[in-house]
Amino acid sequence: MFVTLALASAAFYGAADFLGGIASKRADSVVVTFVAQAAGLVLLALLLPVLPSSSPVPSDYVWGVAAGVAGSAGVAFLYRALAIGTMSIVAPITAVCAAAVPVLVALGLGERPGMRAGVGIILAAMAILLLSRVEPARTRAVETAPRPTQSAVTLAFISGVAVGLFFLCLAQTSDHAGMWPLIVGRSVSVPLFGVMAVTRLPPSRSRYGAIRRLERSAVRTAFGCGIVDMLANALYLIATRSGPLSLVATLASLYPASTVLLARVTLGERLSGSQALGVGCALLAVVLIVSP
């Protein structure tokens, strides 16, 4: 059961990244993220009355706050890394670190996934690297793009660790916490991104000008991104309560496959050789992880 939930969360995480990328091409990325984060919080608030009853303990709220802070930091550092570096360097580092943190912690706490699952984890890490790889096009635009710097690599590493801590914090919540850790975490991240969206605007402009100027299509896309991302978080949270963290985090971190495939289907982007190999590695990794 946890395999299906973790893979579904990966599919939704990848779809959310795809939608977020589309929206960020039409509007400021921080403002788009603020809209997406707020949309996820609204979704949870609307669904709360119909969700199964839960009985969170105080530690669940603490882990929820920690998850919200870690997730917000991860996204903020990722945006900065992408601004000064290149996706082909930043994305693989972030994705692999996001998977490595919870996996290493789980192994350190005594989880033993078995030989086949261990090989599957290694293959999954290779798949993430291959899926995130962007082959440079031979165009003037690429030649003038920002070059990968040590600062970008450092920020990508920090971003990946922060996202990994987000995964880890959610996994520490109790089985009876329901969706409250996500509600608390999102209640932290929404104000943080709201402050970022306001403070990044020049003093001469209206503080809410960037939000008012968002195209309707960008708003819809950002809103959809937030809904899909929250669904991914919920599926991941449920998966961690029924399966080993090392395997759940590994499967959930295969989200670049969903992003690549969506770009192929909807935008007509061709898969590079490394990305096609990455899809194959991901499928083989899943087979090994679910094998008895």
Read off the pLDDT of residues 119-131 as tens digits, 9 standing for 90 and up.
888 888 888 778 7
As given in the structure block, the two tokens for residue 291 are: 């094998």
Contact 192, 72 (CB under 8 A): yes
Contact 187, 41 (CB under 8 A): yes
Span of 120-134, 171-185, 194-208, 259-273 with lowest mean pLDDT: 194-208
pLDDT at residue 230 is higher than 80? yes
Mean predicted confidence (pLDDT) in 95-110: 83
Q: How many other CB atoms sit within 10 Å of the CB of residue 191? A: 15
Share of the chain above pLDDT 90, in %: 22
Q: Tell me what pLDDT residue 144 has.
A: 45
Span of 4-13, 110-119, 130-139, 245-254 with lowest mean pLDDT: 130-139
Q: Tell me what pLDDT residue 290 has.
A: 66
Q: What are the strands, taking DSSP E only, across 73-170?
A: none
Task: Enumerate residues 6+ apart whose C-beta is below 8 A from 95.
Answer: 128, 129, 132, 160, 253, 255, 256
Of residues 41 and 196, the one with the higher pLDDT is 41
Share of the chain above pLDDT 70, in %: 82
Q: How many other CB atoms sit within 10 Å of the CB of residue 35? A: 24
Q: Tell me what pLDDT residue 291 has.
A: 66
Maximum distance among all Cα pairs of the chain, rounded to whole angstroms: 62
* CA atoms of 87 and 213, how far apart (whole Å): 27
pTM of the full structure: 0.81
* CA atoms of 75 and 107, how far apart (whole Å): 26
* CA atoms of 17 and 262, how far apart (whole Å): 10
Mean predicted confidence (pLDDT) in 84-107: 76
Identity of residue 257 = A
pLDDT bucket at 142, cuts 50 / 70 / 90: very low
Q: Tell me what pLDDT residue 128 has.
A: 76
Q: Tell me what pLDDT residue 179 has.
A: 92
The pair phi, psi for residue 85, each rounded to 5°, is: -125, -155
pLDDT at residue 280 is higher than 70? yes
What single DSSP character describes residue 99?
A: H
pLDDT at residue 250 is higher than 80? yes
Contact 2, 242 (CB under 8 A): yes
pLDDT at residue 63 is higher than 90? yes
pLDDT bucket at 139, cuts 50 / 70 / 90: very low
pLDDT at residue 95 is higher than 70? yes
pLDDT bucket at 197, cuts 50 / 70 / 90: confident
